[in-house]
Chain A
């Protein structure tokens, strides 16, 4: 259905076909079952097939339970009504100004207030009865004011006119919705968008008691289904933007920074700015933004970085895919990066070829059809209702940033998994040994010249090192790394001292920067833990002493799983790790150098 626009008659036929299939016992999987109770005044049955078909577009196998004509109160109040027995997921209360008996009383505030109270009372009765008898939430409607005025403009101001009553009731309905679990279908908003004179058809009301013109049944159904979608978490979460002629006018690669159109005061430029404004507003309410553009990355990023009129900045974009791969591949990559389903994505692109490609390749992605004139882009995107919400929370407000942070973490993970296979391909071998005569000079050299990967920067002379070799309370370790390119020599040094019974304090831990990012730290820790356990030690204590050069290891122990126990005023920190800690696999083989028997 991603590739077909259907009018209401086609929708009705499809809806009847779906209902027929269900009656014959066909499975409607993978559509999600949804039972919608439909009560109200006027002829509602005509909507049912259209609702059923529209729901299928939204991924629902919809079953509508309609009440008897104008029997909405009985349907709600009687526990054994067909409506209540069907255990609906939601009940749409489709009452209009006629159903709620908003009798005008122009100029009579007392009667007007009573009329409003009575109407709200009726709605409350229905809401409470539905909740009690079926457990369903209600979808309440605002009312579309009848367009026939009595006084003219003054209708809006005067108590008790039809317009005044509808305005007041709508306000009350909105208050009810925000203070309860019930939901809102803003019929007033839909009708205003259409135009009240077109929305209300006196002929069709008289002829068939249609509560609004049948021309808008499909639109109405669409709005109902958006709410059902939002209830079930089907609203979309990410807007993927094309760049050239979608976010700015022109082609950045050809027209350059000065040639693209996004300036205020330029008719074309303002059209694109309104796309950017909408994208930013969506982001502020929790929609994640991504870019998919056929461009060279650096060129595509230039307007974001350098163009003074750009509202969108690189920071707003969670995933930026500018390359020459096809867009289906890129959109899949974006979904993966954000850990979102493809059915959470909306793709905005001025190019009909790209839109067609995505609709065909990834029909789960929503692709709004755009006209050639960019002035309509923002409205088309907004009108499509992809990001329908039934509430707004603090969490929504920060969601875009949360997804963005996750995407960053995931892209690091992505690199890590690639990195791991690369590291494995290096065929690394790490060889541990204790300080001895043969390594003494290299160890001393490392201790005195390592600055960056050096936790404590404690310097020792060669004779002090020699003393450590025989010190029963000290543990010394050096690490040599060999890979398929050759022997890197000794690249790591660790000195531990028994600081108190059962605890080794890591006096020195340093490594050569040549082997950074190769998981050598993890391997060293694994060896340390092994030795500590063998020596009956319970705890390793780490120490970080900051210098001007060793910022890179500030969180070294944290990354390795140590717990910080103390932070000094000079920025130093103490860390602890139980020796029972399991360390993960490292992408190298581990060997131990046998103590060599050397002549004294």
Chain B
């Protein structure tokens, strides 16, 4: 799946999880930049991404992510 498509799909997942319809994602986006991105919504986010892309993540893969760009790379590797 190409990067743009992943960003588009990921953006819609983020909007669902954070209930924020004009949320937009940049590769540098981190938890600090998004309202309500706490540990609980992080879990919801990972579960939702996993479901919507049909991939599974291990704890170490998720734990090592620094920003949205790395998340997209991880998804790209798995799809």
CA distance A43 to B42 in the complex (A): 12
B43-61 interface mask toward A, CB cutoff 8 Å, 1 = contact, 0 = none?
A: 1101110010000111100
A9 pairs with B43, CB closer than 8 A: no
B58 pairs with A13, CB closer than 8 A: no
Task: Count chain B CB atoms within 10 A of each CB in A9, A12, A206, A207 and give the residue with the most.
Answer: A207
Q: Does residue A203 face the partner (Cβ distance < 8 Å to B)?
A: yes
B16 pairs with A9, CB closer than 8 A: yes
Contacts of B40 in A (CB 8 A): 43, 45-46
Contacts of B47 in A (CB 8 A): 46, 204, 208, 214
Give the residue name and chain of the B residue nearest to A48 (CB). Answer: B40
Contacts of B23 in A (CB 8 A): none
Task: Count chain B CB atoms within 10 A of each CB in A9, A12, A16, A45 and give the residue with the most.
Answer: A9
Beyond A45-B40, A203-B56, is A16–B19 a contact (Cβ under 8 Å)? yes
Contacts of A43 in B (CB 8 A): 40, 43
Taking the closest CB of chain B, its distance from the CB of A556, in whole angstroms, is 73
Taking the closest CB of chain A, its distance from the CB of B29, in whole angstroms, is 21
A9 pairs with B48, CB closer than 8 A: yes
CA distance A193 to B59 in the complex (A): 28
Contacts of B57 in A (CB 8 A): 203, 207
A370-410 interface mask toward B, CB cutoff 8 Å, 1 = contact, 0 = none?
A: 00000000000000000000000000000000000000000
Taking the closest CB of chain A, its distance from the CB of B70, in whole angstroms, is 17
Taking the closest CB of chain B, its distance from the CB of A258, in whole angstroms, is 52
Taking the closest CB of chain A, its distance from the CB of B38, in whole angstroms, is 10
CA distance A65 to B69 in the complex (A): 37
Contacts of B59 in A (CB 8 A): 203, 206-207
Give the residue name and chain of the B residue nearest to A16 (CB). Answer: B19
A22-59 interface mask toward B, CB cutoff 8 Å, 1 = contact, 0 = none?
A: 00000000000000000000010110000000000000
B58 pairs with A203, CB closer than 8 A: yes
Contacts of B43 in A (CB 8 A): 43, 46, 207-208, 210
Within 8 A of B (CB), among A188-241: 203-204, 206-208, 210, 214
A207 pairs with B62, CB closer than 8 A: yes
Within 8 A of A (CB), among B58-78: 58-59, 62
A13 pairs with B16, CB closer than 8 A: yes
Beyond A13-B16, A203-B59, A206-B59, is A46–B44 a contact (Cβ under 8 Å)? yes
Taking the closest CB of chain A, its distance from the CB of B72, in whole angstroms, is 19
Taking the closest CB of chain B, its distance from the CB of A108, in whole angstroms, is 33
Give the residue name and chain of the B residue nearest to A217 (CB). Answer: B47
CA distance A13 to B41 in the complex (A): 13
Within 8 A of B (CB), among A549-590: none
Contacts of B44 in A (CB 8 A): 12, 46
Contacts of A16 in B (CB 8 A): 19
CA distance A203 to B56 in the complex (A): 9
Q: Which of B19, B46, B56, B58 contacts A208 (CB 8 A)?
A: B46
Give the residue name and chain of the A residue nearest to B47 (CB). Answer: A214
Contacts of B58 in A (CB 8 A): 203, 207
Within 8 A of B (CB), among A291-326: none
Contacts of A203 in B (CB 8 A): 56-59
CA distance A202 to B56 in the complex (A): 12
Taking the closest CB of chain A, its distance from the CB of B67, in whole angstroms, is 19
CA distance A208 to B42 in the complex (A): 9
Taking the closest CB of chain B, its distance from the CB of A461, in whole angstroms, is 98
Contacts of B46 in A (CB 8 A): 207-208
Within 8 A of B (CB), among A145-181: none
Contacts of A206 in B (CB 8 A): 59
CA distance A43 to B62 in the complex (A): 17
Give the residue name and chain of the A residue nearest to B52 (CB). Answer: A9
Contacts of A45 in B (CB 8 A): 40
Taking the closest CB of chain A, its distance from the CB of B32, in whole angstroms, is 21
Give the residue name and chain of the B residue nearest to A205 (CB). Answer: B59
B1-35 interface mask toward A, CB cutoff 8 Å, 1 = contact, 0 = none?
A: 00000000000000010010000000000000000
Contacts of A210 in B (CB 8 A): 43
CA distance A46 to B46 in the complex (A): 12
CA distance A13 to B13 in the complex (A): 12
Give the residue name and chain of the B residue nearest to A43 (CB). Answer: B43
Taking the closest CB of chain A, its distance from the CB of B52, in whole angstroms, is 9
Contacts of A214 in B (CB 8 A): 47
CA distance A597 to B62 in the complex (A): 114
Taking the closest CB of chain A, its distance from the CB of B21, in whole angstroms, is 12
CA distance A204 to B51 in the complex (A): 13
CA distance A46 to B38 in the complex (A): 13
Taking the closest CB of chain B, its distance from the CB of A7, in whole angstroms, is 9
Give the residue name and chain of the B residue nearest to A215 (CB). Answer: B51
CA distance A12 to B51 in the complex (A): 14
B19 pairs with A13, CB closer than 8 A: yes
CA distance A265 to B59 in the complex (A): 53
Taking the closest CB of chain A, its distance from the CB of B63, in whole angstroms, is 9
Taking the closest CB of chain B, its distance from the CB of A133, in whole angstroms, is 27
Taking the closest CB of chain A, its distance from the CB of B35, in whole angstroms, is 14
Task: Count chain A CB atoms within 10 A of each CB in B19, B43, B59 and give the residue with the most.
Answer: B43
CA distance A19 to B46 in the complex (A): 23
- Since A9-B48, A207-B58 are in contact, a sample of 14 more A-B pairs with Cβ atoms closer than 8 Å, ordered by chain A residue number, is A12-B44, A43-B40, A46-B43, A46-B44, A203-B59, A207-B43, A207-B46, A207-B57, A207-B62, A208-B43, A208-B46, A208-B47, A210-B43, A214-B47
Using CB atoms and an 8 Å cutoff, list the residues of chain A in contact with chain B. 9, 12-13, 16, 43, 45-46, 203-204, 206-208, 210, 214
Q: Could you give 19 example pairs across A and B, Cβ below 8 Å? A: A9-B16, A9-B48, A9-B51, A12-B44, A13-B19, A16-B19, A45-B40, A46-B43, A46-B44, A203-B57, A203-B58, A204-B47, A206-B59, A207-B43, A207-B57, A207-B58, A208-B43, A210-B43, A214-B47
Please name the 4 residue pairs, one residue from A and one from B, whose CB atoms are nearest each other, closest first: A208-B43, A207-B59, A206-B59, A214-B47
